Structure 1
Amino acid sequence: MAITSANQLELLQTAEAVAREKNIEPGLVVEAMEESLARAAKSRYGAEMDIRVSIDRKTGRATFTRVRTVVAEDDYENYQSQFTLETAKDWIKDAKIGDTLVEEVPPVELGRIAAQSAKQVILQKVREAERDKQYEDFKDRAGTIINALVKREEYGNVIVDVGSGEAILRRNEKIGREAYRPNDRIRCYIKDVRREQRGPQIFLSRTAPEFMAELFKMEVPEIYEGIIEIKAVARDPGSRAKIAVISYDSSIDPVGACVGMRGSRVQAVVNELQGEKIDIIPWNEDMPTFLVNALQPAEVSKVVLDEEAGKIEVVVPEEQLSLAIGRRGQNVRLASQLTGLDIDILTEEEESKRRQAEFELRTKLFMDTLDLDEFFAQLLVSEGFTNLEEVAYVEAEELLVIEGVDESTAGELQARARDYLEAQSKKALDHARELGVEDSLVNFEGLTPQMVEALAEDGVKTLEDFATCADWELAGGWTVVDGQRHKDEGVLEKFEVSLEEAQNLVMTARVMLGWVDPADLVSDEDDTDMEEEAEA
């Protein structure tokens, strides 16, 4: 039929009906109609013509127009939709490149094929508009909890209805062996929303730590209001979890508020998580104290923290070892996730044996290198001396406090230590030169002969080689792979070179070689200082 013979308002009524049904803007449906009518007109007038259709939003009248554009002589390709500048002046007095000539053409008759094609265009546009609206509706809801209705299960993945579309709860995001039937209602955490070719993909989770945090926010008004903050969550989904909380109001106990009257609040969360046991732990800025809390219900005797390595040693009584580790290592694993540290658990007996082994090792070091008897070497170790450098370069007064050591003995001890260190340095330097180390690296300030030897053995033999090193390659570091921390050994790690020291050495080498402008370093430091002041 012809557009002119139809009720013109019928187009607008149809657009509004479709928009209401699909919950999208009527204007999007009208635009789809305009595009479909334009395609039908092109099939009638010719595909090379630039035919456009405009539907009046008030009257519904469809206007068909032919558009031709003024182009340069070299760009002239299609006489149906283009004008050269010379020809255009016959139509437009002051024509210039880029101008368009718009003229109305008669509306077309929509045959069966054209009508079917127009319908397909409209449906496609409506589907795209639905997908865009669904993405816009959910992109800002990532990180929140949603109530969904189960539709079906596919290969262990649960497809749920979330109102304006579908979402997926993957098999590995379900708690334990959860099974759902169609029309079951479930609560899930919106983990991610992605715009993909086939439409927006909404990924849900019930195992994410954030799901538990959001559940507590729903059950505990003080968390929702910001009086209590959840600082960390660690979960073994369906089995056990630990959650660390802090109160910003001294009159409110964060643990008690989360537990609720007779455990009502925490029990509501436990029921939602299929009986998952939850330990609620008070947060503390002092990491060792926080760790002691995190390892509850086990009792801890002592904590030794190595902040640089991100590692912590915990000493517990023998009878508390199994409780601290937990079934299949669950308790210590959750405590490690909660604190972000690697945790080594030792019994008091194991720590005593290790300390004894260290004592014997240092005693033997002083006996062998300083030609001392066992008793005298043990005295040095007992006074806290751990290596030859401390003996060689410490103030003499610190040696004089040792029983039986006078000024003469102290001087002899330091002389022996320095002679041995110098001999070792010469030996290391000779070996490094045999390996081909250049003087530019040997004379670089900040590297000892032993460090130069270690670098040479690793293939770093010039200042240029050294300048290309990364700080973690020198000082060592940690890499997280699949949630597990792995140790990266550094070439200079055994010399106790920190990451910051390694970075300074490498940057100094780059400045000396002219690779980096010192002014840039000063600018970066100023920016860092300003950021720190702003944070303060």
Structure 2
Amino acid sequence: MRGSRVQAVSAELGNERLDIVIWDDDPAKLLINAMGPAEIGSIVLDEESQTMEVAVAKESLAQAIGKNGQNVRLCSQITGWKLNVIDKDAEEEEDSASINVSDSLKEYLDVDDDLAQILIEEGFDSLDKISNSSIESLSSVEEFDEEIAEALIDRAKEALLTLAMEISTEDDESSEEDIMAVEGVDMNLALELSQKGIKTRDDLAELSVDELQDLIDIEEEQAGSLIMKAREHWF
């Protein structure tokens, strides 16, 4: 009889439900087999800590984690690895935001990919932070000396001044596309958004709340309000 062995084992265990998992020596493949049918987008293995970061599609997240984390615990026991399950869509949004910041620094500071990434990793991820930092704090970064630090600070200040002049000119022209036309956006916020590539009302309107929060430090309620104000001209 089909499944007779499974039924026999189940009966011995007091009719406990049994799930059959196809074994694989590769821990990532074994995890995919164990976590199915949840849709896994990517798996990053850290051999040293025996940890897997598992990016799962949003619609499969609850299924992958299980009630009170039961599925994750079982999969961890099966694979012998610690599991960190994350939302794949949220991870992609974070990656996109990181790319936007990197592109902004490269454009305004005239630096290459490597230098932009170093700045981001060290917490200097905006023109404001760089322009307001001291030569001592920037030159404390291993890859920078005082000459590089001073040049970066000067370039950041020049870029902010240029952006402020551009925004001021657009404001004088009272353009409906101007981001300053959005209620709640002042010069400081406009400058911060411009550094992230958000320069027009439509740029802001096309963002989701999560995307805006990834770009700047802003409360969820304020982010939602700004986006809705930016979209008012659509209706």
Provide the TM-score with structure 1 as the length reference: 0.21
Q: RCO higher in 1 or 2 (8 Å CA, sep ≥ 6)?
A: 2
Pick the structure with more helix per residue: 2
Larger Rg: 1
Pick the structure with more strand per residue: 1
